[in-house]
Amino acid sequence: MSGHKKYPNPKEHIILSQQFTPSFLSELFKLTLEIKKNPEKFSNELSGKLVATLFYEPSTRTRLSFEAAAQRLGASVISTENAKEFSSASKGETIEDTIRVVSGYADFIVMRHFEDDSSKRAVSASSVPLINAGSGKSQHPTQALLDAFTIFENFGRLDNLTLAAVGDLFRGRTADSLVYLLSKYENNKFFFVAPENSRLKAGLREHLKEHNISYQEKSRLEEVLSEADILYITRIQKERFADSQEYEAAKGKFILKKEHLSKMKNKAIIMHPLPRVDEIETAVDSNPRAKYFEQAKNGMFVRMALLKIINDNVYGKK
């Protein structure tokens, strides 16, 4: 299978959500379900392979789930969790030079970086499969995959759904990545709720208009609760604000509380890419619609499937 002509084949490199096609997701999700049912069956799929996790920004779920995925498939892992300080980047080495070097050590590179164009720069220098594990405020494509898988598990489809994305839509990358992916499916509708200084990025707004996809921007959480099949909540990205006053103006605007649940559809689901700060009260956690911890667990299984598919395509099936 080939990727879109503008983008790399997702069976070789993963840099952004626009690469993914419905047929690729169908293959990935079928394999994810098999792995989730019997992970031990796949314990030698990457035997003899080495995965490098190169993280220039903090991470809990993404780094550990990729490393767990690799090791559960039989691969070894080399890792740096703070490459911004504890790699030659601190001496001025470019992304391109770092990737050229690490490509000589590892069979896969999983990279998170604080610059928006980092994955595009890195893939041009990589001689091995490269996976974007988060690039600045731009994209987080594997998060979109695990998010979409969680939606698919709960609804049995990825079309004819209404998603409400809430939070920092300007500095965050997860909502964008998921919307780009879901916009490939028919009859999906989108609501966007954000503080005034954290509204939807121009690029995503243009994408939705260009493809005649239904969306509305709202100013209050209460306006979308009864409409949403998927309530996708994100935190205000404190570390990406240049001005502390701007952050103070945005934080705490939209908090999902237990009393909000009665206004939601019975079969709606609540998602969050985590970490959570204060945007979902802990009292919501026990509600069956809360799927964010299940969502995080799914990350490992989806990334196991993704690594296997790339491995089979690039290095050949066992």
Active-site residue, from 49, 113, 140, 308: 140
CB-CB contact of 303 with 66 (8 Å): yes
Residue 14 DSSP SS3:
strand
| Alpha-carbon span 129 to 169, nearest angstrom | 29
Active-site residue, from 112, 137, 173, 253: 112
| Alpha-carbon span 279 to 282, nearest angstrom | 9
In the residue annotation, 36 being an active-site residue is answered as no
| Alpha-carbon span 100 to 102, nearest angstrom | 6
In the residue annotation, 62 being an active-site residue is answered as yes
Residue 290 DSSP SS3:
strand
Active-site residue, from 5, 6, 37, 91: 91
State the DSSP code for 167: S
Half-sphere exposure of 57 (CA within 13 A, CB side): 19
| Alpha-carbon span 261 to 266, nearest angstrom | 9
In the residue annotation, 112 being an active-site residue is answered as yes
Active-site residue, from 62, 98, 150, 162: 62
Q: Calculate the CA 22 to chain-centre distance.
A: 17
Q: Which two tokens stand for residue 171?
A: 């500095």
Kindly list the catalytic residues. Answer: 61-62, 91, 112, 140
